Amino acid sequence: HVDVFFVLEGEAELIASSEVVRAGPGTFVAEPLGIRHGFRANTGAAALRLLNLHAPDAGFADAVRRG
């Protein structure tokens, strides 16, 4: 699946492979299938709010719930 991050408020560090992007409000990043990625939440002073979308549904949310 494609993993998409859209920062609404605050700041995060979005990580794709070995690249780190400091992402503020309005930043949109789409991570393609097969790329190791993630994020470090709230690297700024304000509270972080971001949207994290996965498409198509590949069972990611269920996998996280199962641990």
d(CA 13, CA 61): 21
36-55 pLDDT tens trace = 877 777 777 889 998 988 77
d(CA 51, CA 67): 21
With cut-offs at 50, 70 and 90, classify the pLDDT of residue 6. very high
Q: Is the pLDDT of residue 15 over 90?
A: no
At 35 the pLDDT is 79
